[in-house]
Amino acid sequence: MTAPSTNTAKPATGLASLLKTALINALVALVLFSLMVGIRTEAGSDGQLTYWTRFGELASLVAVVFGGSIVIELLRQWIGPTGAERLVPPAVQSGMSLIGRYLTPALLIFTVLVPVIFYDQRYILDLAILVLTYVMLGWGLNVVVGLAGLLDLGYVAFYAVGAYSYGLLATNFGWSFWICLPLAGILAAFWGVLLGFPVLRLRGDYLAIVTLAFGEIIRLVIINWQSLTGGPNGVSGIPRPSFFGIPLDNSDDGFAARLGIEYSPTHRIVFLFYLILALALLTNWVTIRLRRLPIGRAWEALREDEVACRALGINTTTTKLTAFATGAMFGGFAGAFFATRQGFISPESFTFQESALVLAIVVLGGMGSQLGVALAALAMIGGFELFRGLETYRMLVFGMAMVLIMIWRPRGLIGHRAPTVYLTKAQAISSDLVKEGHG
Amino acid sequence: MSGDKTGDKILGVDRLTMRFGGIVAVQDLSFAAERKKITALIGPNGAGKTTVFNCITGFYKPTGGAIRLTHDDGRVIALERLNDFRIAKQAKVARTFQNIRLFPGMTALENLMVAQHNALMRASGFTLLGLVGAPVYRDAEKRAIDLATEWLRRVNLLDRADDAAGNFAYGDQRRLEIARAMCTEPALLCLDEPAAGLNARESAALSELLLSIRDELGTSILLIEHDMSVVMEISDHIVVMDHGVKIAEGTPREVRDDPKVIAAYLGADEEEAVAVMESGT
Ligand SMILES: Nc1ncnc2c1ncn2[C@@H]1O[C@H](COP(=O)(O)OP(=O)(O)O)[C@@H](O)[C@H]1O
Ligand SMILES: [Mg+2]
């Protein structure tokens, strides 16, 4: 802790260390798989225990782990960040930021034009809406994980709170989407603060576990509070969004009839697309602004060094709570959108897997980077669809692709941080220096 | 909380005791720091100096004793009853750390902006005014940048304002940390071994900086330091600790000639010097 952080040394590259790592991995695999795969037990016809061994499969699995370790290690040395790259970060960084400068507007223009280009392709539009939903969720979680450095594994809870807020308010009281949307955000933020209180003193792994539990608790409450939420049956008949009061259907005072054009169900899809695009861009705009305000700088400072923050008179409690609340609010917005898009919500949509997916998007994107999160959401959701043809092997290929990306860019796709204020020139900061937070 | 405003002391430490389980790190320590003066706290490693700092700045809750801060306007604050961030925010006590604690992934300028968090928070209407870009906030931010620029100039780091703090050389990091503490506009500045790891030239520049903070800005300084050239040159008053108790105090000259001090501290000078050198790299 005494010396200023220097570049970490390159891991040992010798053949011996390579073999040693692979051997250790193979050994671990042997211990794990010998019980999981090597021996099978089953209740026999008379209820007696029968078992048989599968040493062949076991051997091949261990061999795969051994070979795989070597391959991954070689790949890491081959395409991973090299010492040379770390020594010349300015050039790399300026190159990256140059790409970043043109990539962002280009992506934005393309996104706005998606419904025009793909008007007839319902599948692409649906996929684009899905990607944008995850972009928004990623940006929301990015406030908590990327900026404030608080590892939140229960983000889906706020998504659920937002979805159920809209679903229940709309079906029980008939309130419109535009009234329910802010309410869903506020309710989710409220739950964010509630979650924030007990976990304020926790850090790292402990924080992750408690937030994970919180996500599960919300889901279990939804399942069991049958009278309110409909339990496992969910809430159905949630009103579709209207174009500021004008329904998007083929009725006489519907959107198409009023405009005097022929009704098409695509109108609603396009409207949903622009709705989630607007919500996502709002999230992005607010986050970018917050980052340049004292509260945003305090979030990042908190991620860098909490003790130093306290020594500077920053109330770390309220700073963490505002991060939780802000992230949760965006999650709530996204949830309300999800409910109105689906027309039906059930607890099944809000499992831990969703939290993990959103977190993966944030980590893959490069923690704290808005553009990175958007690219990661596109890669994760779009890429997953891309592999649809592979059927059974889809997950496997997808997982391998993620491992490769993380070897190639361990700090995420966008591996640098842009300063929030500058005197003469905004220089990108290499993410080697940026802390990930301790919880 | 009756005001004990004898003399013009800014900080009064009265029978401070700090125990960690069985270890008594500080025992019945009493001393005072005068306003607009530099008070040094010296002693061999493990004497309990950093623990005293942690008690003053609220990172530890003292086992016993009182710590009183008297502001210019006569307000007396019982520091042992405030906790952590309130001491910096309300009592205006700023500190640096023995192991530098900058925000390494943020630029030097950003580090100094974070230090002005509370003032900027108020100006940004607790974020709402700032979010809509109100002119009130923009003016405040401009002033904050000006203050930060002024401090970067003072510590001779102006040309590196937009570099990440983690990329700075050791001596630059120490000076940046002092600048950051000063950006909170403190009444009392507590520095924990600011010269550790600096070379002779950097130490001399540090002495000059601390003297200018005292003379030009009138900020009171409490200083822990091993580098005797710095301590003897700039201190107005020196308190010597050993094994958690005060063994001597007085002017630099008095302390230097005190046989108890020589026995406890200067006698261990060589080892100390080695230890300090090692901890500084
Ligand atoms: N948090 C703590 N828990 C236990 N012991 C501590 C703690 N902080 C300091 N000490 C002990 O208190 C004594 C004084 O330490 P310290 O104040 O750091 O000395 P100095 O700064 O004078 O070198 C040491 O023996 C140290 O081990
Ligand atoms: Mg110390």
Domain that holds residue B142: 103-167
| H-helix or E-strand spanning residue B39 | strand B38-42
Of residues A289, A300, A313, nearest to B131 (C-beta): A289
**Mean pLDDT throughout A12-32?**
80
Confidence band for A305, pLDDT divided at 50, 70 and 90: very high
User: A379: pLDDT confidence band, cut at 50, 70 and 90?
Assistant: confident
- Structural domain ending residue among the three candidates A79, A95, A129: A79
Same domain, B86 and B188: yes
Q: Kindly state whether residues B84 and B150 are assigned to the same domain.
A: no
Looking at the structure, do residues B81 and B189 belong to the same domain, yes or no? yes
Q: A94: pLDDT confidence band, cut at 50, 70 and 90?
A: low
Backbone φ, ψ for residue B244 (5° rounding) = 80, -5
Same domain membership, residue B144 and residue B92: no
Is A249 a domain residue?
yes
Domain assignment of residue A428, yes or no? no
Using CA of residue A175, residue A343, residue A234, residue A136, what is the dihedral sign?
negative
Contact B167, A433 (CB under 8 A): yes
Q: Exposed e or buried b for every residue in A331-367, given b needs 16+ CB within 10 A?
A: bbbbbbbbbbbbeebbbebbeeebbebbbbbbbbbbb
Within-domain flag for B149 = yes
Whether residue A44 sits in one domain with residue A151: no
Distance from CA of A90 to the nearest CA of B (A): 11
pLDDT digits over A135-162, tens only?
999 999 999 998 998 888 999 999 999 9
The answer as to whether B272 is a domain residue is no
Q: Poorest-confidence range of A59-63, A365-369, B51-55?
A: A365-369
Q: Which ligand is nearest to the CA of B97?
A: 2
Instruction: Name residues whose C-beta falls within 8 Å of residue B186's C-beta, 6 or more positions apart in sequence.
Output: B88, B92, B93, B94, B219
Instruction: Give the whole-angstrom CA distance, residue A309 versus residue A343.
Output: 45
Q: Specify whether A245 is located in the same domain as A320.
A: yes
Q: Find the CATH number of the domain harbouring A253.
A: 1.10.3470
**Cα–Cα separations (whole angstroms), residue B244 to B43, B248, B273:** 9, 12, 20
Q: Which residue of A has its CA nearest to B196?
A: A2
Is A299 within a domain?
Answer: yes
Total domains in the fold of chain A: 2
Q: Are residues B190 and B90 in the same domain?
A: yes
CATH code for position B32: 3.40.50.300
Residue B257 located in a structural domain: no
Same structural domain, B79 and B16: yes
Task: Give me ligand 1 centre to Cα B248, in Å.
Answer: 20
Confidence bin at A227 (pLDDT 50/70/90): confident
Number of domains in chain B: 2
Does some domain include residue A193?
A: yes
| A434 occurs within a structural domain | no
Do B92 and B117 lie in one domain? The reply is no
Range of the domain at A72: 15-79
Task: Tell me: do A114 and A73 sit in the same domain.
Answer: no
Tell me whether residue B274 is in a domain.
no
Domain check: are B16 and B115 in the same one? no
Please indicate, yes or no, if residue B243 is contained in any of the structural domains: yes
- Asked, for residue A417, whether it belongs to a domain, the answer is no
Mean pLDDT of B168-183: 94
**Interface with B, mutate which of A312, A326, A411, A431 (most B CBs under 10 A):** A312
Residues B221 and B92 in one domain: yes
Structure tokens at B122: 């108020």
Specify whether B80 is located in the same domain as B200. Answer: yes
Q: Which residues 283-302 of chain A have a CB within 8 Å of chain B?
A: 286, 289-290, 293-295, 297-298, 300-301
Q: By CA distance, what is A298's nearest residue in B?
A: B114
How large is the ipTM? 0.87
Are A19 and A120 part of one and the same domain?
no
Same domain, B196 and B96: yes
Task: Write out pLDDT tens, residues A100-118.
Answer: 667 777 888 888 888 888 8
Residue B245 lies inside a defined structural domain of this protein: yes
> What is the model's pLDDT at position B51?
94
Report the share of chain A in percent with pLDDT over 70.
89
Give residue B273's pLDDT band: very low, low, confident or very high (50, 70, 90): very low
Contact A312 B84 (CB under 8 A): no
Using the predicted structure, report yes or no on whether residue A67 has a pLDDT greater than 70. yes
Same domain, B126 and B142: yes
Determine if ligand 1 sits within 6 Å of the CB of residue B104: no
Same domain (yes/no): A197, A68: no
How buried is residue B241: exposed, middle or buried, by Cβ count under 10 Å (0-12/13-18/19+)?
A: buried
Same domain, A72 and A115: no
Is B173 domain-assigned? no
How high is the pLDDT of residue A100?
61
Max mean pLDDT among A2-6, A201-205, A411-415, B22-26 falls in: B22-26
